[in-house]
Amino acid sequence: MSFDAEAKMQFVFALRSKGVTDTAVLTAMERIDRGAFVQGYFSDRAYEDMPLPIASGQTISQPSVVGLMTQALNIGPRDKVLEIGTGSGYQAAILSQLARRVYTVDRHRRLVREARQVFDALELTNITAFTADGSFGLPDQAPFDRIIVTAAAEDPPGPLLAQLKIGGIMVVPVGQSDAVQHLIRVTRTETGLEYDELRPVRFVPLVEGLGKD
């Protein structure tokens, strides 16, 4: 399978049918080959709208969920964005097409190392990936215009809320790991935080501390 014109057309069609309508987001997703982020056995299925297994027992998110979360962030070209949960690096790559600068962290060293190799190969030079426990955010680079969490938390982590600029937006799946989770959008205003619930989702849990690999 290659991400040729036919594959791209079907990929974008599926995204649209799931509600991804933002032209800039669709263009970014047409430009970045998801196949570059899926290795081995499942690489044949990279262009299907489904999550797939990656290393360290994690998953690359479903493309339509990546699209809807990215769309909900409403990213501008000057924005500095933080992602918690690098995983394969696919979501970060999409963000890199829309934002000025992307920081992404994962608790698994191996995933960060492999994602960096793909970023280098695709020449995505505005992404910096770190191994860290993302529940604490990235204090050295804060504050951020946008924050996206791609693992489910029981509540939006306090340190992340604190690292959001005024006017900033954070998108985070909230809920118990095995139960229904909801995608929440938090906006920091002059006076506080506004929350809205976007849709039910299913993500791997946000786990404390660093991974074994």
Among the listed residues 20, 22, 65, 85, the single contact to ligand SAH using CB under 6 A: 85
Q: How far apart are CA 151 and CA 84, in angstroms?
A: 7
Active site residue 2: no
Per-residue x/- track, 143-172, ligand SAH (CB under 6 A): -------xx---------------------
Among the listed residues 34, 80, 108, 146, the single contact to ligand SAH using CB under 6 A: 108
User: DSSP characters for 50-119?
Assistant: S-EE-GGG-EEPPHHHHHHHHHHH---TT-EEEEE--TTSHHHHHHHTTSSEEEEEES-HHHHHHHHHHH
Nearer to ligand SAH, 5 or 134 (CB): 134
Among the listed residues 39, 43, 59, 74, the single contact to ligand SAH using CB under 6 A: 59
The residue whose two tokens read 């990215």 is: 70
Determine, following the binding rule CB under 6 A, whether residue 135 of this chain makes contact with ligand SAH: yes
Determine, following the binding rule CB under 6 A, whether residue 206 of this chain makes contact with ligand SAH: yes
Nearer to ligand SAH, 39 or 187 (CB): 39
Per-residue x/- track, 2-31, ligand SAH (CB under 6 A): ------------------------------
Burial state string for 82-111 with b = 16 or more CB within 10 A and e = fewer than 16: bbbbbbbbbbbbbbbbbbebbbbbbbbebb
Could you say which of 61, 88, 96, 135 is catalytic?
61
What CA–CA distances, in Å, run from 84 to 21, 125, 175? 24, 19, 16
Determine, following the binding rule CB under 6 A, whether residue 67 of this chain makes contact with ligand SAH: no
Q: Is 39 left (phi over 0), alpha (psi -120 to 50) or beta?
A: beta
In one letter, which amino acid is 164? L
Determine, following the binding rule CB under 6 A, whether residue 95 of this chain makes contact with ligand SAH: no
The set of catalytic residues is 61
Q: Where do contacts with ligand SAH occur on this chain (CB under 6 A)?
A: 58-61, 84-85, 87-88, 90-91, 105-108, 111, 133-135, 150-151, 204, 206-208
